[in-house]
Every structure is written in C-alpha cells, then in structure tokens.
Amino acid sequence: MNTARRYSAPPGDKELPLVVHVVELRQRLLIIMGIVAAITVVVIPFSDILLRVIWSGLIPPNVDMVFYGPWEIVKVRITLSLICASSVGIPLLIYEMTAFMNPGLYPSERRFLLIVIPFSLTLFVAGALLGYFVLLPLLLKLLIFHSSDVAVAQLSVGKTFSMVTTMLAGLGIIFQFPLLVVLAVKMEMVKYETLREKRWCVYAALLAFAVFVSPDPTMISQLVVAIVLVVLFEVSLLIARFL
C-alpha cells in the first residue's frame, strides 16, 4: 500500500486547467478596467468642481491657485478623475482577486482575509482623512503665513495637487503600521514582550521616521506624525495582546 499522500486541498477545491484560471483572471481584470475607465470618463466633466471643494478645505481664501502650462490643469483633472475611479476600482480589485483565490483557500485563510483586508482599508482611509482635515491645512497655512512677508502666495495647481496626493497616500501607508506589527507578532517574527519592553527604542525610531517622511521646517507635521505613530503602535500592541 502506497502511504504517500497528496497535500490536502481546501474543501470544494477543484483542479482545473491553467487556461481556465487565466481566462477567469482576464475576465475579472477586464471588468475592473472597464468600470475604472467608465467612472473616470464620468468624473472628468465635474473634476473642476471637485478641485474647488478640495482647495476650499486646504487653501486659505486669500491665496490664488494658478497653472503655468496648458497641460498642467488638464493633467490634474485627469489624475483626480482617476483617483476617484480608483476609490471604487481598488476595493473592487481586492474583491475580484479574493473571489478568484477563494476556491483554493482554507477556511482559516478566508477568515484571515476577511479580517485583514477591511482593517487595512480602514487604516488607509483614516490616515488620509487625518492628513486632509488636520495635517495638510495646518502645514499649508503655516508655510504660507511664514512666506507672506517676502513673497505673494500663488500656488501651482499641479505641484500643490501632487504634494496633497503624495502626503495623503503616504499617511494612508503609514497607517498600515498597526497591521504590520500585529502580523509580525502573530507570525512570531518578533515577540510581543520584546516590543512592550523596548517601546522607548521603538518611539525613538518612529520619531526619526516621522522627521524623514515629513518635509516641514516648522517641525509641527513631524511631531503630529510621530504622535500618531506612537498611538498606532500602542493600539497594535493592544490588538496583538488579545489576538
């Protein structure tokens, strides 16, 4: 009797030809690309209104927004439309990829994804909201205030939009920190007790990281980012303790 056994497949998993999986993946990606393209086309005519809404929450009313090339404002409007479409496309991509992998996943792996993916998206949105409503208005007002004695404030639409999107995306990524800590603890890459006992070393590392990623001569944004990271670290320790 042959005692060699194949690996145990997840319940309901069926072995299909590779071409079937490729065709399915292609169809799912085409659906996502079609939806993103359609949303982008719909949003472009209203992108100027969206830009005004964005600037109203960030830029002081006495500051003019200007563009220095015929394509600058066009690129900003297209980019903003793509970002709006991506806010639907990225969750849809995650859903389609999860549905694609679902037959080959064990129940424990499915539960893990159902916890991690919403948690990650929530953290990203929380970081972007903090940046838009707290950090960016404070930073822009301080920078414009300190330069008002030597120059008239006229902000480039393209460069300002690039800075805004970069900082919001960066804060969204930074807010993934608790998830990384929890995963590291659960995968036994680092011990919970070690992080708890060495927390002051972690605080110093987080402060250095905040100074590196936040270009602000007033040091206010670095301080805000460092405080947020410390709070996120403590939250991640709390989560790792009870999981």
Which token pair is 113? 């994804």
| Residue 70 maps to a domain | no
| Nearest Cα residue to 179 out of 230, 126, 237, 125 | 237
Q: Using the predicted structure, report yes or no on whether residue 58 has a pLDDT greater than 90.
A: no
Q: Is the pLDDT of residue 2 over 60?
A: no
pLDDT digits (tens, 9 = 90+) for 129-157: 988 998 888 888 777 766 656 667 778 89
The answer to whether position 241 is within a domain reads yes
pLDDT digits (tens, 9 = 90+) for 85-103: 998 888 888 888 888 888 7
The answer to whether residue 214 sits within a structural domain is yes
Is residue 86 included in any domain, yes or no?
A: no
pLDDT band at 4 (very low <50, low <70, confident <90, very high): very low
Residue 78 pLDDT greater than 90, yes or no: yes
Confidence of residue 77 (pLDDT cuts 50, 70, 90): very high
Give burial (CB, 10 Å; 0-12/13-18/19+) of 146. Answer: exposed
Whether residue 108 is contained in a domain is answered as no
Domain region containing 241: 177-243
Could you write out the three-class secondary structure of 157-186? HHHHHHHHHHHHHHHHHHCCHHHHHHHHHH
CB atoms within 10 A of CB 185: 21
pLDDT at 188: 80
The rounded distance, in Å, linking the Cα atoms of 208 and 140 is: 22
In a domain, 226, yes or no: yes
Residue 222 lies in a domain: yes
- Look at 65-79, 104-118, 144-158 and tell me which has the smallest mean pLDDT: 144-158
Given a cut of 90, whether residue 161 has pLDDT beyond it is yes
Q: What pLDDT score does 6 carry? A: 47
Q: What is the DSSP letter of 104?
A: G
The pLDDT, as a whole number, for residue 80 is 94
DSSP state of 64: E
The CA radius of gyration of the chain, in Å to the nearest whole number, is: 23
Query: Is 198 a member of any domain?
Result: yes
Of the candidate ranges 4-18, 28-42, 137-151, 162-176, the one whose mean pLDDT is the lowest: 4-18
Q: Is 201 left (phi over 0), alpha (psi -120 to 50) or beta?
A: alpha
Q: Token digits for 242? A: 């009870």
pTM summary value: 0.81
Tokens 């086309």 found at: 41
- Number of domains into which the chain is organized: 1
DSSP H helices in 102-156: 107-130, 136-147
Query: How far, in Å, CA of 47 to CA of 91, rounded?
Result: 22
